[in-house]
Structure 1
């Protein structure tokens, strides 16, 4: 048996109703949602379970809601299965879920921190100034050159999320992203789709948010991670609090190296990825990076129960 990585999704994976089934059926998951509501001083669980979608999509609600949902599924899973990961990783906001799973950050502290992170990101760039777009079918190097050329003309645009081969998200000024949409065909992009987001996440325009987050992270109690957590910024494992803090600050304005992170994990012998939280986004990306690995999406009570059957069947 190869090694196992627990992985956690980021913004974009949210959906109204997420986590409600485990909240109702599992005491350990209910405790997580109740703890989040208490830590924040408002009913985050109501927003996650009932919406409306417009409210759930506000960055400072989305981030704590996704973190809470991921950890609620993780706790229900842990109560039913004795499966320990060799590594943990998360996509953008999901890196905080991974750090909670690895015991580096306490859950309530993480919820408050990502709520603040969401607020800082929301406030960093006035509405209508920034944008993001998904570029499909382009080579990374060619897209990097195009972004550098556009940025040198004064319209900032950068690689934000390197998700999997042929799927890269760019982020920056409205003009910069518009130029990539217009010129994507030049570098062989099949399609360039503007994303519905409230800001230019993971671009240098987010530096004001990084600076404010640095103050919060400096005060955040943190322990060494019990298992290595792969950082988005470096696509390498970290465990020590000092380095974790530094990379979380950088992460806000840097590229999310998801493809590189998954490739690094596979190179360490990981052949099973278990995704905790809403949707199946990461399982889909991981399969596009390497079809041979096993992926499980723990996004419902049914999936938790089914996991037992699948792993029992595969170990016969």
Structure 2
């Protein structure tokens, strides 16, 4: 028997039209979109299906839109009898994992991530912070570049995505200097990313503090499916850890590569990336190759890919 992990993408995967085909074909997906609209007070179908892109790209809209699309698709898979043995998500995607594990009710989660997006955007004035992708460099070497660059401004590792792909975050001067130093000591590429805030670094601590107050008002239930947290690449032990780890996630590194290695070590041989884009599938492919593990990786974001998955899993 395959051991299946549901994995969910983070911000940046969004596009106008995501989820439309799924909603048209499956009533359970339509219901999720309607629940989202009710929870956040605007038409989620219109936001996801029609945009405009500028509105969809606003962090406080992006986060509930991606979460809604992911859960709508996950519910379709569950209705078809495909269940996860465990789950993990990248940044925002961790909320989708907690929803399918029954740890947080979907309506609470979608309202929560709208506020999370708002707080993350407001924590640092526009133009003060940025992020960059560093390609082709080991963690230990990058640490040297970050240490040197920190004299010019805050700069920290934000995402450990896959072997040779690390994202850094911080003040503009610090990030620019880190890119310069990283290239000087062997990075293949260092690319400033088109983002509106320096996510997953200490500059986002105020956003985490505001999020903590919101989380205190949310009912947290026992998790029915094991979920791996971004902040420590380990399983939530029980529901008492949920608030602390979600708050920590806002201003700490996302340990995605470590999380995938943990899943591989625990016998996961089938990864189903649920939601817009294919970035997690690409990361998992690189990580599993480095770990010399043979795995099946699927991406599901349309009714056609649902049908393809059903065929592949039945073979």
User: Shorter-chain TM-score: what band?
Assistant: over 0.9
Aligned-residue RMSD, C-alpha: 1.0
Structure 1: distance between partners of 2:74 and 2:22:
10
Structure 2: distance between partners of 1:16 and 1:183:
37
Can you give the 5+ residue segments of structure 1 that lack an aligned partner in the other structure?
A: none
Structure 1 residues 111 and 239: alpha-carbon distance in aligned structure 2, compared to 1, 3 A threshold: farther
Displacement, 1:293? 1.2
In the alignment, what sits opposite 1:29?
29
* Pick aligned residue for 1:298 from 272, 297, 300: 300
Displacement, 1:154? 4.5
Structure 2: distance between partners of 1:127 and 1:44:
26
Displacement, 1:149? 2.2
1:226·1:239 contact (CA, 8 Å) conserved in 2? no
Structure 1: distance between partners of 2:255 and 2:211:
20
2:77·2:83 contact (CA, 8 Å) conserved in 1? no
* Pick aligned residue for 2:254 from 256, 261, 265: 256
TM-score (normalizing by structure 1): 0.96
In the alignment, what sits opposite 1:101?
100
Displacement, 1:2? 4.1
In the alignment, what sits opposite 2:244?
246
Can you give the 5+ residue segments of structure 2 that lack an aligned partner in the other structure?
A: none
1:196 aligns with 2:194: yes
The runs of 4+ residues in structure 1 deviating greater than 3 Å are none
1:279 aligns with 2:277: yes
In the alignment, what sits opposite 2:232?
234
Displacement, 1:76? 1.4
Structure 2: distance between partners of 1:154 and 1:87:
42
Structure 2: distance between partners of 1:239 and 1:106:
19
Structure 2: distance between partners of 1:239 and 1:136:
33
1:75 aligns with 2:75: yes
Structure 2: distance between partners of 1:3 and 1:79:
18
Structure 2: distance between partners of 1:83 and 1:26:
15
Displacement, 1:44? 2.3
TM-score (normalizing by structure 2): 0.97
259-268 or 286-295, which deviates more = 286-295
Structure 2: distance between partners of 1:71 and 1:2:
22
1:29·1:72 contact (CA, 8 Å) conserved in 2? yes
In the alignment, what sits opposite 2:130?
131
1:225·1:239 contact (CA, 8 Å) conserved in 2? no
Alignment of 1:108-257 (within 5 A): 108-151=107-150, 153-257=151-255
Structure 1: distance between partners of 2:131 and 2:140:
19
Structure 2: distance between partners of 1:149 and 1:223:
44
Matched position secondary structure for 2:158? strand
Structure 2: distance between partners of 1:46 and 1:95:
25
Alignment of 1:29-68 (within 5 A): 29-68=29-68
2:120·2:197 contact (CA, 8 Å) conserved in 1? yes
